[in-house]
Amino acid sequence: MAEEAPPAAKVLSCIQAGRTILQAIEDFAEDLKSLNHEIHSCPELAFEEFQAHDNISSLLEQHGFNVTRHAYGIETSLEAIYGSGGRLVTFNAEYDALPGIGHACGHNLLATASVAAFIAVAYIVRESTTPGRVRLLGTPAEEGGGGKIKLIAAGAFDGVNACFLNHPIPATLGPVQGYSGIADPLTDATTKVSVTFTGKAAHPTMAPWQGKNALDAAVLSHNAISMLRQQIRPSERIHGVISNGGTRTNIITETACMEYQFRADSRPAVDALRKRVENCFYGAATATGCSVEIKEGLSYAEMRINKVICSEFAAAMEGLGSPVACKFQDAVSRVPASGDQGNVSYVCPAFHGGFSIPTGKGDFNHTPGFATASGTEEAFQATLEAAKGMAIVGLKVLQDDDFATRVRADFDEDCRRREES
């Protein structure tokens, strides 16, 4: 979309801007529906989202936007920026799927919402001479690949005044029952470890005393962790698997491998939990005479809630006739999930909303039923509503100096408070 200066300097009123946002999203609804269908019908795993990357890029290019494909050295990332000077608002688009069950986390909808919000705000920026830039950032590999962590390291979030995404969730989820979504979901911090026990192979009947059983070490640590669960907090979770327990029954297992993941409500809490679990691995190694190697994997931070952004989003959705929950209460807002948008919220003011889509009973995220629900017309319409709310708030960050200042002040105060604690 060519950057054409309007004939006279102007800042659109809130009412005008809101109407333009709604109209822009409605005008692009068919293109957005096609994009959503293309991504949903072609699920691609982390860092392999080549078709989604191309489909989003092509759609934006067809409408005149300049797109940087393969942005920040990541093959399936992309970036489109419109406007100049002023503040920078970013909409993150995730589009990776899950092994075996496709878009069971609804990232086709998440991507569509961010594309829609980006286009809508870009059209407002075109009609106003107020400085400001809006960006769509393709953020691959949220499902275990930490795409945003790589983008943070590459400087993609430097200088961002506010960063948005909105994630589909089942309408049956406790915090959103009776609402169209939630503005302030509190997600967990999480980290993963890969564990390798090394023993000594031996024949289990001829000379078992010569062996050191790595599988015994894995089982012993697994049982120790199960006992540990009685003493952890309600907000903490531990889950894992034995990924390699040996190859033959008539060989004492020399190598056994495990994958474990820990969740808690903050980075410090998840680090403390990880250390307690690691003691189970070390103790099992000592008891069985094996050695153990623990490799830490990706760590996702908890979401740092920006109350100014969340409150404004809730007000916008109320005005659209689709009210969302926004209570700023841990017991109400906590969602038992993790994502790398939490890492972004440590770098700049960020928003991670959740919008409800109709699902069957028990069809939560990461289930085949949710994958089916993510492809429905009802889910698509909910996506457009979520996009409108994000666009309204994103535009306010660009055009309202006082609001942008309050957004930053909330972020800075949260940083100070966490450092002190």
- 285-301 pLDDT, tens per residue? 999 999 999 999 999 99
Tokens 């009973």 found at? 361
184 contacts 201 by C-beta, under 8 angstroms: no
* pLDDT at residue 78 tops 70: yes
Would you call 395 exposed, middle or buried from its count of C-beta atoms within 10 A (0-12, 13-18, 19+)?
buried
Tell me the residue type at 199: G
pLDDT tens digits for 230-267? 999 999 999 999 999 999 999 999 999 999 999 999 99
Please state, in angstroms and as integers, the Cα–Cα distance from residue 361 to each residue in 334, 339, 366, following that order.
20, 24, 14
Residue 29: per-residue pLDDT:
97
Alpha-carbon radius of gyration of the chain: 24
300 bridge partner residues: 190
Residue 330 — very low, low, confident or very high, per pLDDT cuts 50/70/90?
low
Residue 13: per-residue pLDDT:
58
Among 14-23, 170-179, 275-284, name the one with the lowest average pLDDT: 14-23
Residue 5 — very low, low, confident or very high, per pLDDT cuts 50/70/90?
very low
- Residue 385 host element (H or E): helix 377-399
DSSP string, 49-83: -HHHHHHHHHHHHHTT--EEETGGG-TT-EEEEEE
Residue 331 — very low, low, confident or very high, per pLDDT cuts 50/70/90?
low
The whole-angstrom separation of Cα 141 and Cα 124 is 30
Residues 180-201: what's their mean pLDDT? 96
80 vs 172 pLDDT, higher one: 80
Same fold, 14-187+303-420 and 189-298: no
* pLDDT at residue 195 tops 60: yes
Structure tokens belonging to residue 1? 């979309």
Boundaries of every domain in the chain: 14-187+303-420, 189-298
Angle at 305 between CA 181 and CA 122, to 5 degrees: 70
Q: CATH says 14-187+303-420 is which class? A: alpha beta
Residues 127-152: what's their mean pLDDT? 95
Report, at the CATH architecture level, how domain 189-298 is classified: 2-Layer Sandwich (3.30)
342 contacts 189 by C-beta, under 8 angstroms: yes
Residues 294-312: what's their mean pLDDT? 97
- The pTM score is 0.91
The whole-angstrom separation of Cα 338 and Cα 245 is 28
Tell me the residue type at 21: I
Residue 337 — very low, low, confident or very high, per pLDDT cuts 50/70/90?
confident
